[in-house]
Each structure stands twice: as structure tokens, then as C-alpha cells.
Amino acid sequence: MGKLDFHLLLLTIYFFFTIALSGSGHHNQQFNEAKNYEGSSDLVNLEYHMGPVLASPIHLYTIWYGHWNPTHQSIIRDFLLSLSSSSSSSSSSYPSVADWWRTIRLYTDQTGANITGDIVLSGEFYDTWYSHGASLTRLTIQSIIKTAVSAYPKALPLNSYNGLYLVLTSSDVKVQDFCRAVCGFHYFTFPAIVGVTVPYAWVGYSGIQCPGICAYPFAWPNNSGRPPPGTNGGNSKIMGAPNGDAGADGMISVIAHELAEVSSNPLVNAWYAGDDPTAPTEIADLCVGVYGSGGGGGYVGKVYRDSWGNGYNVNGVKGRRFLVQWVWDPIRRRCFGPNAMD
């Protein structure tokens, strides 16, 4: 639920293989279906289910769980600092991370209130002592939040009005379903564990455990039977990470994915497609693997290259560059990002 579901990505890659291995014929049908999210709205039945969206300015609290490399932390922190239109419009050139967030702001609740463009990094907590061990269930993530908001002396505030908690686990932490079914997920806390209901997201550092699955497209499964995807056509070289670390740069897109979905579906009763609220297809699920125009079916789409050839599609604070997947645009009715060519 609200997870970054890699079934969709793997499905997309599968279709690519299918087409690559067997040529045209009836498989083209499947290929087009996998790609179709970008080009057509016919198959997408995204609906609003009357629940709230994150319309108030978001106070984002980051919980660093485990032992983190400070370089990786600053890449991720700079991405979070780039989200807000107020903090980054002056310092980041177009297309910026905040420009990417504009698509998410197009979603409203039943009062007509849009998702906010204000995302303030309001606190960070360092759980360096692995308070709940190095092997976590999905539910334990809520206990980690509880620990962070009850710590002494430097607890995070328990902000049930406009708080959003982001739990990031280090390379050595195992999380239920991590690397197998999910790279991240979002949900809301239960009062019995945390005291109140607040939205949260979790994303794991995949650089050691499963870069080929969760740090796409900067890594690629060795056993996939084909070379890594090129970015702009036939180039089969793996795409370089814009901040130098496939794990951290890959996490950025997963974090972006989860923040987009938790904002548009914080209590899992607002924006999603499909009839099953326990397995909703949300606004970023519809665009997994798409980072630029023409993306889909194993091709990331048209993205920029820096002078070292690394791929990116948005600019952030302090001259940073990031590669973030696109999200579903409710007005254009297709996947969209600010680096679109059309």
C-alpha cells in the first residue's frame, strides 16, 4: 500500500525483454500497454476518494536510522531542501526540483485546496544506535518514529497538524519486503504506537543490498540477461549518478516517489487508481521508470547529461542535479515532468 511497487517496473522491463526477444507480433500489444501510461489516458482511472491531501505547509522531519555516510546524507538533505518553491526558486535554475513538485500541486481535496508547495525541513533525528535493531518489519518503522518523538533530550516534535516523517534506513538495515517487493513505502501512524495519526514514508539505502533493483537506472541487475539501458537511444553504458553514488542518487527518486504519493494520498483515501484500497495505484506508481519524454518500456526517456555524462532531469540547491521519476499529471492526463520536450 502506497509502496514504490517494483512489480510495475519489472513488468515494464519484462515487456521490453519480450519485445526484444520475440520481435513484433502480438507482443506489441503488451509493449504498447506498458508504455501507454505516458501517451494516453485511456487505461488510467485515477480517482479522488474524498480524503485529505497535504494542503498545509509541510513540516518534514527526517529520521536517519543506522550508520549513515555524511556524503550520502548531504545529497539527500539537499534534495529535500530543493523541494520548496520558496527555498529553491531563487537558487535553482529551470527545471528545478520545485518545478517538478508543481505537478503534484495540481491535486486538490474536496474543498478545492491544492497540495502545498511549501515543504520545510523542520528537524532531523539521528538514530545511530539502531533503537529497534537491524532487521525491521513494516510496523517497526512506526516504533522508530515513536522513539524519535520521545527521545531525551533532543526529540523531534510530534506534529499531528502538518508533520510528515521520513524514515531513512542505512545500508546494513534489513526491512520487510525491502529489495524484494518494495524500495520504499508510505502510510500513516497508528495512535496505539505513536499516539496520533501522522503520515510517514520509509525509504532504504539500496546501494549495498540491491542497487540493481532499487537504484535504477544507475544500477542494473547482472542476471537480467542484457546490458543496462541506455538513456538517449542505443548507448548501452549504465547511466552515471549525478551526485556520484548510485545508492544515494537512486534513493532520491524513490524518496520523490513516496513524497508525491504521501502528499496526494496521506491516509490512503484520497488520490489513487484501482478498486482495491489495500493495493492502490498512486500518482507516482503510474510513471515508474519514466524520467523524460518518450520514457517507458525500459527506456528512461530524454534526460540531460552533465559534462561527465551522468544523467539528471532537475536542478536543486547548491548547484546539485538530481534524476527523479515523473508523476501523473491530472490535467494533461499523462506522466509529466518539467524536463518534458512537449
Ligand X SMILES: *[C@@H]1O[C@H](CO)[C@@H](O)[C@H](O)[C@H]1NC(C)=O
- Residue ranges in contact with ligand X by CB under 6 A: 105-106, 108, 114, 222, 330-331
Closest separation in Å from C-beta 98 to ligand X:
12
Min CB(186)–ligand X separation in Å: 21
Instruction: List the beta strands (DSSP E) in 217-290.
Output: 271-273
Q: Please enumerate in sequence order all residues whose Cβ is within 8 A of that of 301, keeping only pairs 6 or more positions apart, or say none.
A: 290, 291, 292, 293, 294, 295, 326
How does 36-61 read in b/e, with b if 16+ C-beta sit within 10 Å?
bbbeeeeebebebeebbbbbeebbbb
Closest distance between ligand X and the C-beta of residue 330, in Å?
6
Nearer to ligand X, 108 or 122 (CB): 108
Name the residue nearer to ligand X (CB basis): 301 or 338. Answer: 338
Give the helix/strand (H/E) hosting 124. Answer: strand 119-127
Position 23: which residue type? G
- Beta-ladder partners of 123: 61
Minimal distance in Å, beta carbon 76 to ligand X?
A: 23
Residues 203 and 144: beta-carbon distance below 8 Å: no
Task: Rank residues 223 and 307 by Cβ distance to ligand X and give the closer one.
Answer: 223
- Closer to ligand X by CB, 24 or 222: give it: 222
First to last CA, the chain: 32
CB of 194 to ligand X, least distance (A): 31
Parallel, antiparallel or unpaired: strands 199-204 and 163-169: parallel
Least distance from ligand X to the Cβ atom of residue 54, Å? 13
Query: For 169-223, where are the alpha helices, taking DSSP H only?
Result: 191-194, 211-214
CA distance 195 to 216: 36
The nearer residue to ligand X, 222 or 278, going by C-beta atoms, is 222
Residues 287 and 327: their CA atoms lie apart, in Å, by: 6
Evaluate whether 287 touches 340 at the Cβ level (below 8 Å): no
How far apart are CB 197 and ligand X at their closest, in Å? Answer: 25
> Residue 63 Cβ, how far from ligand X at the closest point, in Å?
29
Amino acid letter for position 296 = G
Reference 202, options 235, 237, 178; nearest CA is: 178
